[in-house]
Amino acid sequence: MTARRAGPLTGRARVPGDKSISHRALILGALTVGETTITGLLEGEDVQHTAQAMRALGADIQRTIDGEGQVIWRVRGVGVGGFAAPEKPLDFGNSGTGCRLAMGAVAGAGVLATFRGDASLSSRPMARVLAPLAKMGARVIEAADGGRLPVTLQGAAEPYPIVYEPPVASAQLKSAVLLAGLAAPGETTVIEPTATRDHTERMLKHFGAKISVKHTGVNDIGRRIVLQGQPELEAAPVLVPADPSSAAFPLVAALIVPGSDIVLEAVMTNPLRTGLLTTLKEMGAQIETVNANSDGGEEVADLRVKAGPLKGVEVPAERAPSMIDEYPVLAVAAAFAEGQTIMRGLRELRVKESDRLEATVQMLRVNGVEAAVEGDNLIVTGKGATLGRAAGGGSVTTHMDHRIAMSALVMGLASEQPVAVDDAAFIATSFPGFAALMRLLGADLS
Ligand code: S3P
């Protein structure tokens, strides 16, 4: 796929449902007795894999359409500890979130399951999740080198509650432990020195679990999460808000394509996901938050975004968990800003769908932008309005990474020359309809 400069982006759009919440709604729905209805579920490939896995573990999951033509997913769960042993390996495709959260849920059920995924997922670290799950009584029967997929896990019939401090800031890791802890007697505690996205905690509360969350540390940056095990989860309707990590692409595009003025509707603004908005505003971006509202336990708002000059900034390492998936597209914004943008503390980017730190630098360099990695920091030098736009003209290798593909295409919409990506297929893992939505706003993608 290739992106070219065209006129300004204009109009309104609503990006698909949040990926993190969609995975959790299916998994927690599967652990609940009764029928959970989900409105706005992301129908990307990653989430479809999670739905398939939950079916294989015994949940009844149907996609239905109501009288008004609205898609409603219905999940009839099996209750905490009620999973059946799947007959075949559970395939999670490209999705680290689906796989790691499901490992937690299986670890707390006495069943044997094999987890597999595509080449990208099979290269990602799983030992970080398997270690605490083993402490809770699950057994790794088989794993590839370094604890990678395929992994066969024997869940614990009677898991132990643990007190756990994740060695890396990871919502997936936290969530896996909490999901396993659902089946354990007593209290499972997770201590986070830096808070990560809290959708699991919010949704557990929504389904009736007893969970307390205390803010800790300087500026309340940490969390102490205590879950009472063996709750009766009660089915409750879930409304999935629009995904801020997907909204990031049209948002940055509108900032850098001259003359643009768009509205992105009902984007989730959970404060643990808004690091990109904070950073872009520091860069001088014109982003107005309107119709702020609370929808189904998560904050949402419309975002009005206008093109305008941006300046380079320093992004502190503590902000990384609240914008961990947004660095490639922030780097694109930085390429169009005036001066240097220094993004600190990005080690985790090396273990995403690709080595995203390296892939981001390459994406920028093949398009004539000065970029460097120094330790865990990414440094991008933009020329800004005075010195001219990014050259473009490059062909970007996406390494099976949807966010590299979308970031590169956003870049092409504002560069001197078109930008091409080698493979746009992985965009469907998280943002089905990306190209169509961007074209409706006025983008030239072919
Ligand atoms: C996610 C957590 C993050 C993020 C991923 C979604 C989640 O991963 O990158 O896209 O839904 O919990 P880590 O927990 O590995 O940081």
* One-character DSSP codes across 94-127: T-HHHHHHHHHHHHTTT-EEEEE--HHHHTS--H
Backbone angles phi, psi at 401, to 5 degrees: -120, 110
Centre of ligand 1 to C-alpha 236, Å, is 24
pLDDT of the residue at 296: 74
The tokens for 310 are 């941006």
Active site residue 325: yes
Ligand 1 within 6 A of CB of 430: no
Ligand 1 within 6 A of CB of 194: no
By alpha-carbon position, which residue is closest to atom 13 of ligand 1? 170
Q: In testing the pocket of ligand 1, which one of 22, 121, 126, 170 has its CB within 8 Å of the most ligand atoms?
A: 170
Mean pLDDT by 10 residues, the chain (446 residues): 96 98 98 97 98 98 97 98 97 98 97 98 97 98 96 97 98 98 98 98 97 97 98 95 98 97 98 98 98 89 97 98 98 97 98 98 98 98 80 97 98 97 98 98 98
By alpha-carbon position, which residue is closest to atom 9 of ligand 1? 325
Centre of ligand 1 to C-alpha 308, Å, is 31
By alpha-carbon position, which residue is closest to atom 5 of ligand 1? 97
- Which residue from 26, 133, 40 is spatially nearest to 78, judged by alpha carbons? 26
Ligand 1 within 6 A of CB of 270: no
- Of ligand 1's atoms, which has the minimum distance to the CA of residue 171? 14
How many Cα atoms are found within 13 Å in the side-chain-facing hemisphere of 377? Answer: 13
CB count in 10 Å sphere of residue 211: 21
Ligand 1 within 6 A of CB of 348: yes
Q: How far is residue 189's CA from residue 214's CA, in Å, rounded to a whole number? A: 11
Q: How far is residue 444's CA from residue 423's CA, in Å, rounded to a whole number? A: 17
pLDDT of the residue at 133: 98
Ligand 1 within 6 A of CB of 183: no
Which amino acid type is present at position 313? V
pLDDT of the residue at 389: 85
Ligand 1 within 6 A of CB of 415: no
Distances (CA, A) of 26 to 41, 57, 77, 249, 324: 9, 12, 9, 26, 23
pLDDT of the residue at 297: 84
Q: How far is residue 240's CA from residue 152's CA, in Å, rounded to a whole number? A: 31
Distances (CA, A) of 4 to 217, 290, 369, 427, 440: 47, 30, 17, 18, 15
Beta partners for residue 39, in sequence order? 72, 239
Q: How far is residue 421's CA from residue 441's CA, in Å, rounded to a whole number? A: 20
Report the SS3 class of residue 212.
Answer: strand
pLDDT of the residue at 260: 97
- Of ligand 1's atoms, which has the minimum distance to the CA of residue 168? 16
| Cα of 217 vs its chain's centroid, Å | 25
pTM tops 0.75, yes or no: yes
